[in-house]
Structure 1
Amino acid sequence: MTLGLINANPVVHAKKERIARPEDFHPDEAVDPIDVFDFVRDIRDPEHPYSLEQLSVLSQESITVDEKLGRIQITFTPTVQHCSMATVIGLCLRLKLMQCFPPHFKVDIKVSPGSLADEESVNKQLNDKERVAAALENPNLRQLVDECLYSNELYS
């Protein structure tokens, strides 16, 4: 069992300037990768006081949207090959998108190919509705996800 942080000294990048969007944005209207990124960029990493954007776990370029098919795909890159928090990061992304976009959007969340030792297993977990629902029913895991989703809102 590993004690302490998996990646004790992550590389931290500057946050990019926010793209100004109309105050009346509504997710029932056309959605593009910028909109999606704007909702998920401030999710805090489970191990560090930095956002997924600051750690380059997530970028606008890692998000695709197909309006016609109602599909949002996010590919994220953990900071280390053996990241034990990859599933938590994916759950955070999924829950945030579930809260921000209508249910007709199909959301696929995947780990960048080759970026994680157990990539296939994590991808399977993150895209299985029953596994996601069961994970979010676990009070300790749900508390961790909520902390990642809402802690940065205080400082934005």
Structure 2
Amino acid sequence: MTVLNANPVVYEVSKKININDIKYNINEGDETREPIDAEEIFELIRTINDPEHPLTLEQLNVIRLESIHVEDSNNYVSVTFFPTIPHCSMATLIGLCIRVRLLRSLPSRFKIDIFVAEGTHQSDAAVNKQLNDKERVAAALENSHLLKVVNQCLIEKE
């Protein structure tokens, strides 16, 4: 495999919180549930591994706290990410990894939108359309090879 961005800039990461410590009340009718905020979403996705490099999305500055929008009362989460290069061939895979982590971690009441930051990828509109199309996402996750790659990216490294 040819690595398109052989020498990415690596950023310092914040203190790690064990995502198992983040508790969600799965009982959808329970009014005592704690609201979910952008910091919790960031904690869930910051440790996703980049598909090309032995680094996390946070280390590569692909995801940023300020690009996460949560409307807990409206059951809505939006994450905008920033590919390291404008022609990143892994942008769709990175977005899929973010979506899968959130689908597996958040209560089902949430609508999740994933976006490539406008102007940061040569095909941002096409990538965004693909990442937010339920049928395309479902089809991608039925591909056993692709699902294996996604699962590898979601394994937290020590």
Q: Select which of 139, 146, 150 maps to 1:145.
A: 150
**What's 1:6 paired with?**
4
Shift in CA distance, 48/22, structure 1 to aligned 2, threshold 3 Å: closer
Shift in CA distance, 144/20, structure 1 to aligned 2, threshold 3 Å: closer
**What's 1:87 paired with?**
92
8 Å Cα contact 1:73-1:107 kept in structure 2:
yes
- State TM-score, norm by structure 2: 0.90
Q: Select which of 96, 99, 105 maps to 1:100.
A: 105
Q: % of aligned pairs identical?
A: 47
Offset at residue 25 of structure 1 (A)? 2.6
In 2: Cα distance, 1:63 partner to 1:17 partner: 18
Q: Select which of 103, 118, 122 maps to 1:117.
A: 122
RMSD of equivalent CA atoms: 1.8
Provide, for residues 84-137 of structure 1, a one-character-per-residue CA deviation record: whole Å limited to 9, x for no partner: 000000000000000000111000100001000000100000000100000011
- State TM-score, norm by structure 1: 0.91
SS of aligned partner of 2:73: coil
**What's 1:130 paired with?**
135
| Paired positions, count | 151
**What's 2:29 paired with?**
none
Unaligned runs of 5+ in 1: none
The alignment status of 1:45 with 2:50, answered yes or no, reads yes
**What's 2:24 paired with?**
26
8 Å Cα contact 1:63-1:74 kept in structure 2:
yes
In 2: Cα distance, 1:130 partner to 1:57 partner: 25
Unaligned runs of 5+ in 2: 26-32
Provide, for residues 41-71 of structure 1, a one-character-per-residue CA deviation record: whole Å limited to 9, x for no partner: 0000000000000000001111010012110
